[in-house]
Amino acid sequence: MICYDYINEYVRKTIKTNQGILPELEDYASKNHVPIVQPEVARLLTVTGRLLKPVRILEVGTAIGYSSILMSEILAPGGVIDTIERYDLMIELARQNIKKAGLADTINVIAGDASEVLKCLDKEYDLIFLDAAKGQYGEFLTECIRMLRKGGLIFSDNVLYKGMIANDDLVVRRKKTIVKRMRSYLNDICNSDILDTSLIPIGDGVALSYKLE
């Protein structure tokens, strides 16, 4: 947690709760220690996403399909989501959950490591949600910028990683490489000529990067 607990508690009890299959998936994720997008970040994702009226969304890091099902609510009519996942069990669970939610024609789970899959995709996306291995965001960036339409958004989650990114005193030894890579990623997206980026201390830290027209 990078925010005060009392703020998070207040925000979480104030924002609206999800409907449909999502509460069941929240329960599953909590009991099985599957990391899913935090409630306050989920709301930021849907609210900013709605402004874009996205027809195509790309997600990196599907897990059990929770955030892709959530984002299906903000798609323009006929819109689609491509979501990439490398872990077989998660791919299976995500496909089951997406089918159960009646979204098999809307959400396409692509199996594989995003560092390879992204190079093979050749579509234009309105919104890209990065929620995978934190040490790899930098590797994904060039391909994400290539496929993001002008006026589109890259929404990167967990960019402040438990405060470690902002404070060396918090960095545990085994996370040093991830921290170094994430700082480099943030430096790139904040100093890019083609992105305008805001860093937001919400959840575990979010970066919103708008691709300039």
Ligand X SMILES: C[S@@+](CC[C@H](N)C(=O)[O-])C[C@H]1O[C@@H](n2cnc3c(N)ncnc32)[C@H](O)[C@@H]1O
Q: Which residues bind ligand X (CB under 6 A)?
A: 35-37, 61, 63, 66-67, 84-87, 90, 113-115, 131-133, 136
**Nearest CB to ligand X, comparing residues 38 and 209:** 38
Per DSSP bridges, beta strands 148-157 and 206-211 are antiparallel
Return contacts of 138-143, CB within 8 angstroms, 24+ apart: 138/181, 138/184, 138/185, 138/188, 139/115, 140/60, 140/114, 140/115, 141/185, 141/188, 141/189, 143/118, 143/119
- DSSP letters for 145-186: HHHEEEEEEEEEESTTGGGTTT-GGG--GGGHHHHHHHHHHH
Positive or negative, the Cα torsion across 84, 65, 130, 210? positive
Which residue has the CB atom at the shortest distance from ligand X?
61
CB of 135 to ligand X, least distance (A): 9
Q: How far is the CB of 61 from ligand X (least distance, A)?
A: 3
Query: 11 or 29: whose CB is closer to ligand X?
Result: 29
Between 108 and 115, CB nearer to ligand X: 115
> What's the closest the beta carbon of residue 90 comes to ligand X, in angstroms?
4
Dihedral of the alpha carbons of 90, 206, 44, 93, in degrees to the nearest 10: 0
Task: Between 155 and 210, name the residue whose CB sits nearer to ligand X.
Answer: 155
Shortest gap between Cβ of 163 and ligand X (angstroms)? 18
| Min separation Cβ 89 and ligand X, Å | 9
Phi-psi bin for 42: left (phi > 0), alpha (psi -120 to 50), beta?
Answer: alpha
* Closest distance of CB 36 from ligand X, Å: 4
Residue closer to ligand X (CB basis): 131 or 143: 131
Q: Closer to ligand X at the Cβ: 26 or 188?
A: 26
Q: Which amino acid does the sequence have at 21?
A: I
